[in-house]
Structure 1
Amino acid sequence: MLHLRSRVISSLFLGLLALGLPAQTPPPPADGGIGDLLVAPTRVVFEERKRSAELNLSNIGQARATFRISLVRMEMDEMGGIKELPFDPGTENLRPLFRFSPRQVTLDPRESQTVRIQVRKPAQLPEGEYRLHMTFRAVPPDAPVPAPQAVAEAPKGIAIKLTPVYGIAIPLIVRHGKTSASISITAPTFDAKGGVLRFRLDRSGNQSVYGDLKATLLPAAGAPEVLAEASGLAVYTPNSGRTVTLPIRSGQPIPPGSRIRIAYSQPVLDGGRLLAETVMTTP
């Protein structure tokens, strides 16, 4: 479930939310009653015979809010960041794959709305995976019309008012024909000073991967101890991998020569199957 709490939409923020990564502490809600939005589920995959899906939008804020819904093209970089790119001749044909309704919703506080999505595959669609992101952007409320006297007394010149736009995005993925992927964890390192693990998730195949990470300390004696966890990390096609920086929980000293197991698994709701693992020894 994605929760929008009056945040300015940006490439970084979209990437964090779309992938399920923890975002920074949000600023206080902006004036104007944009509202809070919950979206569930946070990603939709159409595969095998699945051709339709529903999203549930809920306004948990204190003010009436309007959200405009659209499809955008987004790509992942080597660090896992997501940025919006314009459609080009090679990706413009992805738009007709998805049909959805409504394209704009207005929700009172505590009100919910269903968005219905359908996939229409063309007859000669090549085998593989196709992806767009669906964005939900808050529409700022109309500004009040100034009184005639105020207009007359306004100083001459150019006035610019910047109105922030708030929103989130979720991936819509279509898999057609035979698709598969394999993933491995490579080049693990531990930065004792910074308290972080760094490694790569290397992907191969014609399908994206999505899962949860867990780093566990394996002591010579005693029970294993979880050092860090991260939920909802993806490696999207066509990327061959991404670099991951995983902060360990504060206050947990890691002596030299310690063994750490890093595991990447499907989310529990998807079965929890182990996708990749490695065990490293700290220097």
Structure 2
Amino acid sequence: MASRLAACAAVLFTASTASVMAQSAMQPAGDVPQSSSADATEADAAIPAAAPGEAPTGAVGGMGDVNLYPRRVVISGRERSATVGLYNRAAASGEYDISISDMMMTPDGRVVDLGSVADPAAVSRVKVASPYLRWSPRKVVLPASEAQLVRIMVRVPPDLPAGEYRSHFSAVSVPPLDDGLSIEQAAGGQNGGVGVQIVPRFGISIPVIVRVGETTAQASLANLALQRGPQTVIKVTIARQGTRSVFGDLTVTAPGSKAPVGQLKGIGVYTEIDERTVQVPVDPALDPALYANGAKLTVTYTDDDYAPGQVLAKADFVVK
């Protein structure tokens, strides 16, 4: 045949990360402070400088070659826009679809597509921001080691009740439409055969949080326990109250040790859940006597969102 036909079916997989939570919000990840004040935002921020092929400090990356900065977006007060930087760390150019989607956090910290949740009561607790968000551009082509800004704009109706609203900004790679294979090549040299090529679509998501009016949040720690195993961890339940999510770092300390026994950064609890249980890995390089039976440990949850550096919750427990 004079023309070449691509006989490959692309099976698309989207791998999203959060959240910072880092979420995350899709997965626990560190975060850069949004500001030192409650009403500040990342609005119209310039792209931070970074070496070619690298993303700036505070960016979040997934399985692909694209990074996003910041790790989460918070818009509050009188701000009505924000920007997200996309960084292509690959040696080749890449094309990415930009979208806003609605997701829900589960009590175990997973962030799932809201449409996949069958429980109406759980869905009703999610306050989405997508109806009030616009963004541009919606498709980005990035040369190797280049970056570009995507602008997010929010329009809040005057009668919108006070509270926190959230959706998720996603950048998903676009595979080539035609990889140039002939039908004979796609068939793998077998008569009558049809080849199928799996083309993964790697993606990454960050939360976009819109706070309207006065919001409140309190946190507490409960059910602290050390769990021994191949990877010794400290289990902690973070309880949240109020109309705002909480986001911060968990640090476990022991008397007589300058280094933390364990640390987990970028842990959030969104408004649709009241509590979340996490596991803080214990540093295996430390003296096991620091967390032996009878040892006293302190767990501190430090804000990295509304008032960075402020202690949200603190609790002691004795290892059993």
Normalised by the length of structure 1, the TM-score is: 0.83
Q: 2:283, 2:237 → 1: CA distance?
A: 20
Alignment of 1:229 onto 2:234 = no
Match of residue 169, structure 1, among 180, 183, 205: 205
Percentage of pairs with the same residue? 32
Question: 1:122, CA displacement in angstroms?
Answer: 1.2
Structure 1 regions of 5+ residues with no counterpart?
A: 1-7, 24-33
Cα–Cα, structure 1 residues 106 and 44, in superposed 2: closer, same or farther, change >3 Å? Answer: same
SS at 1:226 equivalent = coil
Pick one of 309, 312, 317 that aligns with 1:272.
309
Most deviating of 68-77 and 156-165: 156-165
Contact 2:64 2:203 in 1 (8 A): no
**Distance 1:64-1:280 versus aligned 2 partners, 3 A rule:** same
Q: Which residue of 1 aligns with 2:221?
A: 185
Give the equivalent residue in structure 1 for 2:33.
Answer: none
Distance 1:163 1:217 in 2: 48
Structure 2 residue matching 1:166: 3-state secondary structure: strand
Paired with 1:97 and 1:41, the residues of 2 have a C-alpha distance of 20
Higher mean alpha-carbon deviation, 188-197 vs 143-152, is at 143-152
Higher strand share: 1
C-alpha change, 1:80 and 1:93, in structure 2 (3 Å) is closer
- Structure 2 counterpart of 1:71: 100
The equivalences for 1:59-208 within 5 A come to 59-86=88-115, 94-147=129-182, 155-156=191-192, 158-193=194-229, 194-208=231-245
TM-fit CA distance, 1:163: 1.5
Aligned to 2:14: 9
Q: How has the CA–CA distance of structure 1 residues 268 and 197 changed in structure 2, closer, same or farther, with 3 Å as cutoff?
A: same
Structure 2 segments unaligned to the other structure (5+ residues): 1-12, 31-62, 118-122
> For 1:10-59, what per-residue CA distance to the aligned partner results, in whole angstroms no more than 9, with x for missing partners?
46x45665236259xxxxxxxxxx96212111101111112111111111
**Residues 273 and 149 from structure 1, CA distance in 2 versus in 1: closer, same or farther, beyond 3 angstroms?**
closer
| C-alpha distance in structure 2 between counterparts of 1:35 and 1:189, whole Å | 36
- C-alpha distance 62-199 of structure 1, shift in aligned 2 (>3 A): same
Structure-2 separation of matches of 1:54 and 1:87: 29
For the 8 Å contact 1:35–1:63, the answer to whether it is kept is no
Q: Are the equivalent residues in 2 in contact too, given 1:73–1:87 (CA < 8 A)? A: no
Give distance in 2, aligned partners of 1:127 and 1:96: 16
Please give the secondary structure, in 1, of the residue aligned with 2:198. coil
Q: Give the Å deviation of 1:154.
A: 6.5
Are the counterparts in 2 of residues 35 and 64 from structure 1 also a CA contact under 8 Å? Answer: no
| Cα gap change, 1:110 to 1:146, in 2 (>3 Å) | closer
User: Equivalents in 2 of 1:269, 1:180: separation in Å?
Assistant: 10
Q: 2:248, 2:305 within 8 Å by CA — same for their partners in 1?
A: no
Native 8 Å contact 1:128 1:178 kept in 2? yes
- Paired amino acid for 1:105: V
The TM-score with structure 2 as length reference comes to 0.74
Distance in 2 separating the partners of 1:65 and 1:116 = 19
Q: Distance in 2 between matches of 1:245 and 1:266?
A: 18
Match of 1:47 in 2: 76
